[in-house]
Amino acid sequence: MRQSPLVLVANRLPIDDSVAPDGAFEWRRSPGGLMNALHPLLRHTPATWVGWAGGTGPAPHLPDVDGVRMRAVPLNGEDFRDHYEGFANATLWPLYHDAVEQPEYHRRWWEAYQRVNQRFAEAAAEVAEPGGLVWVQDYHLQLVPGLLRDLRPDLRIGFFLHVPFPPPELFMQLPRRAELLRGMLGADLIGFQRAQAAHNFAQLVTKVLDLPATDRRIGVGDRVVRIGAFPVSIDTAEMATLAARPDVADRARRLRQDLGDPERVILSVDRMDYTKGIEQRLKAYHELLASGDVKVRDTVLVQVVVPSRDRVAQYQILRDRVEHQVGRINGEFGRVGEPAIHYLSQPFDPAELVALYRVADVMAVTPLRDGMNLVAKEYVAARVDGTGALLLSEFAGAAAELAQAYLVNPHDLDGLKAALLAALRAAPEDVAARMRAMREHLGRNDIHAWAGSYLSALEETTSLPGRRTTS
C-alpha cells in the first residue's frame, strides 16, 4: 500500500460514475460544493482521498483523478440507510440546522455511525505516510479524528465542519453528545465556518466534558486542540474566467430572450433541502404577484433545484410541497408561454449555471440556516460586469462576509417581500457599489486563501511530545 503525505477524508469521493455516449462506463470528477472547494489544492500536492464512491456494492478500484489517488470505502445497504440517510442526514443534519425539521434519534443509527467512522479511520490510517497530515471533512465523520489518533498517534489531524455547529441548547439533545465531542477533539485543529460555531463548541466541551476551553484553545489532557473560524470559499478566478467566456455570454443573451426579455430576472439555485427556505421564498413571491407589486411580464423567477437525498422521507415531502406550490403559482399567474416561475429540477452543467448567473438581475439566496452557501459566492464571482443584486439570508455563513448584500431574515415574510422589492428596484449605482465591495472581498478570500490559512494553522499546531505549541 503506497502512502501519501496528505490524506483527505470526506464522505464522498470527488467522482461520479457515468456512462459515456458510446456506452462505455467511466468515472468523472463530480461537480459541486466540497469537491470543487478542495480540487485546486489537490492539484499541487501528492495526496490520497478516502471516501465513498456511491452505491452499496463492494469498493470499486478507481483511477487517479487529476493525480490524486482515490481510496474507496464501501457502504453496504444497511450502512447507507443507517449511517448516511439516518444518523448523518436525519439526526445530525436537521439538528445542526436549527432543528427546522425534527431530528430523529435511533440507537441503530448511532451504531452504524460508529461502525462507518471506524472503517474510514482505518482506511486513512493505512494510506497516511508516517508523520503525514490527514484532513477530515464534515459531519458524517466526526468520530474519525479520535479513532484515527488511537490508530496513528504520529499523524497531524485536522477536522473541518462545513455545516453550522449548533448552540448548546440544541446539541444537548443528542443522546451520544459526549462521544461526538470527544471524537472531534482527536483533531489538532477543528475548523468551523463562523466564529459563533467555535464559541458554541467551546461552551459545550466545558459543559459536557468539563475541559478548560476558550474560543481558540481547548486543553485535552496533555494536548492542546486549536479551534477557529475558516470560512470556506470558491475558486473566484476560475468562476470569473468561465463567466467571461464568449460562449457563456452568448448563452446568457439567448437565455434572456428565451425568458421573454423581461425587465428583471430573479434566480434561485438550491439543493432540494428544507434548510434552503424554498417554500418561504415561493410564498413571498406568490404574495408579491397577488398584490401586483410584481408582474409576470416584467419579472421572471427562475428556480433551479438540484435533487438531493431523495430517499429520505423529509426530502420527499418537501419536494412534493414545493412542486405543488410552483404548480399553483403558475396556474394562477402564468399565461400561455409565460410561466410565473421557470422551475428546473435537474442537475446542471456548470457553464449553463454560470450563464444563468449572468442573466440574473437579482439572485435570491435565502436559506433558513446554512453553513456557508457557495452559490451566493459563485454569483458574485460570476458578475464580471459588476452589476447584479444579491438577496442573502442573515442565517447563511456567507452573510458574515458579504455584508453588502441585501440581507434578510427569511422567516419574516413581510421583510422578505420588502427586501426582494428593494433589490428589484434598487438604483444601479447602489447595486454596483455593493457588488464592487463584495467582489473585492472575494478576490482576496478565495478557495486558495481558505485552504492556505487552514493548513498553515494546522501546521503550527502540535500535540506530540517534543513539538512546541505556539500560542
Catalytic residue positions, numbered: 162, 370
The verdict on 235 binding ligand G6P (CB under 6 A) reads no
Q: Which cell numbers hold the place of 227?
A: 479551534
The verdict on 340 binding ligand G6P (CB under 6 A) reads no
First to last CA, the chain: 37
> For residue 77, what are the CA distances in angstroms to 16, 65, 82, 93, 94?
18, 26, 9, 20, 22
Binding residue (CB under 6 A) for ligand G6P from 83, 251, 309, 358: 309
Q: Using CB under 6 A, which residues numbered 120 to 149 contact ligand G6P?
A: 138
The 9-28 site mask, x for binding ligand G6P (CB under 6 A), equals ---x----------------
Cβ contact 402:389 at 8 Å: no
Minimum distance from CB of 442 to ligand G6P (Å)?
19
The verdict on 5 binding ligand G6P (CB under 6 A) reads no
The verdict on 272 binding ligand G6P (CB under 6 A) reads no
Minimum distance from CB of 152 to ligand G6P (Å)?
24
Helix (H) or strand (E) holding 243: helix 236-244
Lateral strand order in the sheet of 156-160: 69-72, 47-52, 4-12, 128-137, 156-160, 189-192, 223-229, 217-220
Minimum distance from CB of 51 to ligand G6P (Å)?
10
The verdict on 75 binding ligand G6P (CB under 6 A) reads no
Binding residue (CB under 6 A) for ligand G6P from 45, 308, 409, 462: 308
Question: How far apart are alpha carbons 421 and 68 in whole angstroms?
Answer: 47
Minimum distance from CB of 157 to ligand G6P (Å)?
18
CA dihedral in degrees (333, 339, 343, 349; nearest 10)?
Answer: -160
The verdict on 82 binding ligand G6P (CB under 6 A) reads no
The verdict on 33 binding ligand G6P (CB under 6 A) reads yes
Range list of H helices, 259-312: 278-291
User: 158 vs 388, which CB is nearer to ligand G6P?
Assistant: 158
Cβ contact 138:161 at 8 Å: yes
Kindly state the number of chain residues that form the binding site for ligand G6P, as judged by CB under 6 A.
8
Minimum distance from CB of 228 to ligand G6P (Å)?
19
The verdict on 162 binding ligand G6P (CB under 6 A) reads yes
User: 33 vs 46, which CB is nearer to ligand G6P?
Assistant: 33
The verdict on 85 binding ligand G6P (CB under 6 A) reads no
Lateral strand order in the sheet of 341-345: 341-345, 299-306, 264-271, 362-365, 389-393, 406-408
The verdict on 163 binding ligand G6P (CB under 6 A) reads yes
CB-based closest residue to ligand G6P: 162
Q: Which cell numbers hold the place of 136?
A: 477530515
The verdict on 71 binding ligand G6P (CB under 6 A) reads no
User: 162 vs 194, which CB is nearer to ligand G6P?
Assistant: 162
The verdict on 369 binding ligand G6P (CB under 6 A) reads no
The verdict on 196 binding ligand G6P (CB under 6 A) reads no
Binding residue (CB under 6 A) for ligand G6P from 34, 180, 288, 435: 34
Long-range contacts of 43-47 (CB under 8 A, 24+ apart): 43/67, 45/5, 45/6, 46/4, 46/5, 46/6, 47/4, 47/5, 47/6, 47/7, 47/8
The verdict on 56 binding ligand G6P (CB under 6 A) reads no
Task: Please give the full DSSP string across 123-138, using - where no structure is assigned.
Answer: HHHHHEEEEEEEEEES
Question: How far apart are alpha carbons 343 and 53 in whole angstroms?
Answer: 30
Chain residues that interact with ligand G6P, rule: CB under 6 A: 12, 33-34, 138, 162-163, 308-309
